[in-house]
Amino acid sequence: MFMILAATVGTTAMAESTRALLVIHGGAGTILKKNMTAETEKSYRDALENSLRHGFDVLKKGGTSLSAVETAIKGMEDSPLFNAGKGSVFTHDGRNEMDASIMNGKDKAAGAVAGLTIVKNPISAARAVMEKSPHVMMTGRGADLFATQQGLEIADPSYFWTERRWKDLQRELMEEAKGKGSTENRSWDTTLSEHKFGTVGAVAVDQSGNIAAGTSTGGMTNKRFGRVGDSPIIGAGNYADNESCAVSGTGHGEFFIRYTVAHDIAALMKYKGLSVREAAREVVQKTLKNAGGEGGVIAIDRKGNFAMEFNSEGMYRGWIGPDGVPHVAIYGGD
Amino acid sequence: MFMILAATVGTTAMAESTRALLVIHGGAGTILKKNMTAETEKSYRDALENSLRHGFDVLKKGGTSLSAVETAIKGMEDSPLFNAGKGSVFTHDGRNEMDASIMNGKDKAAGAVAGLTIVKNPISAARAVMEKSPHVMMTGRGADLFATQQGLEIADPSYFWTERRWKDLQRELMEEAKGKGSTENRSWDTTLSEHKFGTVGAVAVDQSGNIAAGTSTGGMTNKRFGRVGDSPIIGAGNYADNESCAVSGTGHGEFFIRYTVAHDIAALMKYKGLSVREAAREVVQKTLKNAGGEGGVIAIDRKGNFAMEFNSEGMYRGWIGPDGVPHVAIYGGD
């Protein structure tokens, strides 16, 4: 049923019956081969491939793009490698506060959570808000409470402690103590950008031709004041509409919010007739880049055309299509 | 300097030097003349006129559209009549949790706050986030703390207690106790919609031709789980870009988020060449209405063309232009 088709990374158009396709990202930033051991690189590649395989299993069995997106993201949330779920970065106060959102292109239903502290899989909490409440967005303790009442898996805060992220925070705090001022104001320090702005996301089209998008993050290392980035903001870090595309973003969230990145890509398709690749390139390489906003997006349309566009050094990313073979890449030249 | 020009409500185009103009709203919903005493109506009209006059004073003196928007909104936040600041509705737990956002069309800088509990003027907190932090959005206690550190006026929670809003909550709680289930699921009960979805907002163009937008709200009566609506979501309930328009929305926030209402109006102007009135009408009367989303928007472009569009029974609204005479309206036929 799933034929092997010749597919080019970046653009894939398939016949009606075989267009199920999943694209994921695990964050964009200063990701350079010279800073990566072979072992570390392999662990990232393995994690991306696992996420793709599990998400694609859902599509192969006739599941929805929404479920595929949730499954793929849960895989990355459960890995300590990515800044989401288990691997979330720490706030200034040494806590983990996670944000996520999900959107269904079929009916434009959406759900979002911000500031979760005890939910193992924030993407599932976002889906519960969408499906089990009349609301789109819940925040803070209220969102934790709702997820608990919905029977989602709860994790002790210690579950989210990882040595690597803890060291990231300590390094930031030491930099502050040295008198450099709040590291928040150095948020453009490129040596930190990968750790500071990591996010995971997925977009998919299912066998029925419906698309969906999801995004999940631990936010920014050393964040304060209940800062929320673009990941839980519908239209900024996440968007899905069957009439245009499904988008998940990663990068310096403040720019993604101000430039309504995800919805802008959809609007360029819907109102100007651009393809998903043209629209993603326009927003990431022109609008965002001109504004000084580093990051990237994955985007897909109903026909399975997709883009993995970024203006940073690298972006953890991958896709899997009809042949069921996962394709992953990390650096700019990949 | 400010000449009297013939101006039609809804569309006003002025010469370069006199195009300063301010448009406000105080919420949309089931606002019917038959339910309003002459005294109540007068108090609303007076409050809207005061807000317009104070905001326009800023423009007249050469101030920015951003300051005019903030000033106009502070006026409505300080009134017990509108669901924002002083007159905010109560959450299920009997608290007031306020959201606001502001955006500058000149540089697309933006600030937003959600879940404030002790800040007298949430719109000023949103502006402080925009101007005094590297972030766009802050939530919950962190946002309260940031506003406090910035020296904004702090109010005891009792300041936000008003008898009318308290009775609204008690009525909702009694309805729930009668077994009708959570009133959240009856959020489309039209007899409640005015109280449930009130919001205030302002858009303006200043003498330099820069536009700005601001939105502030107490959210939804009886809201739970840290629910956040569209008011603090850039692109949904608020947006400003000199290249297109400044927009502030009011209505059933979940629809405004899912349909990225404010940015969609801007995108229709930028990518399809629609006028601000055409774009506002398209989104409010077609997109939103077809989806079942009740509400309205005010929108303005750099030339002073503006729209006050709503699909509900009424919308508290007004505008003030070069002649300095405030124009206010409440019902659909006004």
Nearest to B23 by CA among B93, B98, B76: B76
Average pLDDT, chain A: 90
Token pair for B113: 């706050």
Architecture of the domain made up of A21-331: 4-Layer Sandwich (3.60)
CA distance A175 to chain B (A): 17
Q: CB A228 to CB B138 under 8 A? A: yes
Is A125 part of the contact surface with chain B (CB cutoff 8 Å)? no
Q: How far is residue B83 CA from its own chain's centroid?
A: 10
> Which candidate in A30, A91, A199, A215 is catalytic?
A199
Query: For A119-158, what is each residue's pLDDT tens digit?
Result: 999 999 999 999 999 999 999 999 999 999 999 999 998 9
Is A180 part of the contact surface with chain B (CB cutoff 8 Å)? no
Task: Please report the DSSP string for B83-101 in residue order.
Answer: SSGGGPPPBTTS---EEEE
Q: CB A233 to CB B229 under 8 A? A: no
Q: C-alpha angle A26/A29/A31, rounded to 5°?
A: 85
- A79: three-class secondary structure by DSSP: coil
Contacts A–B by Cβ distance under 8 A: 146
Provide mean pLDDT across the span A8-30: 69
Percent of chain A with pLDDT over 70: 90
Is A258 part of the contact surface with chain B (CB cutoff 8 Å)? yes
Contact partners, residue B265, CB within 8 Å, separation at least 6: B239, B244, B245, B247, B276, B279, B280, B282, B283, B297, B299
Please name the residue of chain A whose CA is at the shortest distance from the CA of residue B104: A258
Residues from chain A contacting residue B254 (CB–CB below 8 Å): 134-136
Task: Please report the DSSP string for B192-261 in residue order.
Answer: THHHHS--EEEEEE-TTS-EEEEEEE---TTB-TTEE-STTSBTTTEEE-TTS-EEEEEE-HHHHHHTTH
Task: Please report the DSSP string for A186-251 in residue order.
Answer: GTT-TTTHHHHH--EEEEEE-TTS-EEEEEEE---TT--TTEE-STTSBTTTEEE-TTS-EEEEEE
pTM: 0.92
pLDDT of residue B181: 55
pLDDT of residue A181: 55
pLDDT of residue B188: 36
B30 counts as catalytic: no
Provide mean pLDDT across the span B48-52: 98
Provide mean pLDDT across the span B49-67: 98
- Say yes or no: ipTM exceeds 0.95: no
- Examine the pLDDT at A332 and tell me if it is beyond 60: yes
Rounded CA Rg of chain A? 18
Query: For A223-232, what is each residue's pLDDT tens digit?
Result: 999 999 999 9
Pairing type for strands B109-116 and B137-139 reads parallel
Residue type, A21: L
Per-residue confidence at B29, pLDDT binned at 50, 70, 90?
A: confident
Percent of chain A with pLDDT over 90: 83
Q: CB A142 to CB B258 under 8 A? A: no
- With beta carbons less than 8 A apart as the criterion, state whether B99 and B116 touch: yes
CA distance A6 to chain B (A): 34
Residues from chain A contacting residue B110 (CB–CB below 8 Å): 257-258
User: Which residues of chain B from 272 to 331 reach within 8 Å of chain A, CB to CB?
Assistant: 272, 291
Is A261 part of the contact surface with chain B (CB cutoff 8 Å)? no
Please name the residue of chain A whose CA is at the shortest distance from the CA of residue B147: A225
- Examine the pLDDT at B7 and tell me if it is beyond 50: no
Residue A247 CA to residue A280 CA, distance in Å, equals 9
Helix (H) / strand (E) containing A320: strand A314-320
- Examine the pLDDT at A191 and tell me if it is beyond 90: no
pLDDT of residue B193: 52
The ranges assigned to domains in chain A are 21-331
Provide mean pLDDT across the span B215-236: 96
Q: Torsion-angle region of residue A250: left (phi > 0), alpha (psi -120 to 50) or beta?
A: beta
Provide mean pLDDT across the span A312-333: 95
pLDDT of residue A222: 92
